[in-house]
Amino acid sequence: MVSKDEFRAAVGHFATGVTVITTVDDNGQPHSMTANSFTSVCLEPPVVLVCVAHGTNTFGFLEKSGRFGVNILRQEQEELGAYFAKRPEDREDGVEVSYSSGKDGVPYLDNSMVFLGCHVIGTHVYGDHTIFLGEVEEIQQYEAGQPLMFYRSRWYNPSSD
Ligand SMILES: Cc1cc2nc3c(=O)[nH]c(=O)nc-3n(C[C@H](O)[C@H](O)[C@H](O)COP(=O)(O)O)c2cc1C
């Protein structure tokens, strides 16, 4: 039997980019969560997925709204990545967050590299996570840069090795 710690340590060797998933809360306000389970699924139609833990606020907001945004972070946004990895009650003041509104009211983070506005077209529950499949309805691309990365449970900058 594979233990949770062993599994986490093993899959952590797969280096990823980092996204922030944006949704709206019950009051229609923007809500954000850091996620690296994002991947593209197919080109026609343009579909992506993200795996969301059932214990997160984002899970409930996504289930209700049926829409989400994927914001691909640049290296300079490490602070934002760390901020949105905390539960809202633990997010201290002092981090500047600026949102704009995409089509259908999906919020997006200003200054990320790419924003994908999606509507949920399918879900699959597995264990303590649900896989949300989203069809991409809107794309905004900003100035490219160095991507924020995550590797072995830490932020990772390949050019600083
Ligand atoms: C690099 C990184 C990637 C993460 N990826 C995911 C993810 O793909 N899915 C998920 O449910 N949580 C992920 N998390 C944890 C959430 O960001 C964290 O639970 C957050 O507090 C959820 O916020 P919420 O409860 O306000 O939605 C990740 C955390 C980090 C640091």
Q: How far apart are CA 37 and CA 110, in angstroms?
A: 21
Q: Are 24 and 65 in contact (CB under 8 A)?
A: yes
Answer yes or no: is the C-beta of 57 below 6 A from any ligand 1 atom. Answer: yes
Of the CA atoms within 13 Å of residue 43, those in its CB half-sphere come to 0
Question: Is 52 within the bounds of a domain?
Answer: yes
As for how many domains the chain has, the answer is: 1
17 residue type, one letter = G
Q: Which amino acid residue places its CA nearest to atom 5 of ligand 1?
A: 35
Question: Is 12 within the bounds of a domain?
Answer: no
pLDDT at residue number 118: 98
Question: Is 125 within the bounds of a domain?
Answer: yes
pTM of the predicted protein model: 0.97
Question: Is 160 within the bounds of a domain?
Answer: no
Q: What is the CA radius of gyration of the chain?
A: 15
Three-state DSSP class for 100?
A: strand
pLDDT at residue number 160: 84
For residue 155, the ligand 1 atom closest to its alpha carbon is: 1
Residues 6+ apart with CB under 8 A from 106: 22, 23, 24, 67, 68, 69, 117, 118, 138
Question: Is 11 within the bounds of a domain?
Answer: no
- Strand-pairing partners, residue 73, are none
Answer yes or no: is the C-beta of 52 below 6 A from any ligand 1 atom. Answer: yes
CATH of residue 77: 2.30.110.10
Question: Is 154 within the bounds of a domain?
Answer: no
Q: How far apart are CA 137 and CA 161, in angstroms?
A: 38
35 CA distance to ligand 1 middle (Å): 5
Question: Is 157 within the bounds of a domain?
Answer: no
pLDDT at residue number 59: 98
Q: Which domain covers residue 140, as residue numbers?
A: 17-149
pLDDT at residue number 139: 97
Segment-wise mean pLDDT, segments of 10 residues, the chain, 161 residues: 96 98 96 98 98 98 97 97 96 92 94 97 97 98 94 94 70
pLDDT at residue number 94: 84
Question: Is 158 within the bounds of a domain?
Answer: no
pLDDT at residue number 93: 83
Q: Which amino acid residue places its CA nearest to atom 28 of ligand 1?
A: 35
Q: Are 24 and 105 in contact (CB under 8 A)?
A: yes
Three-state DSSP class for 120?
A: strand
Q: How far apart are CA 44 and CA 91, in angstroms?
A: 38
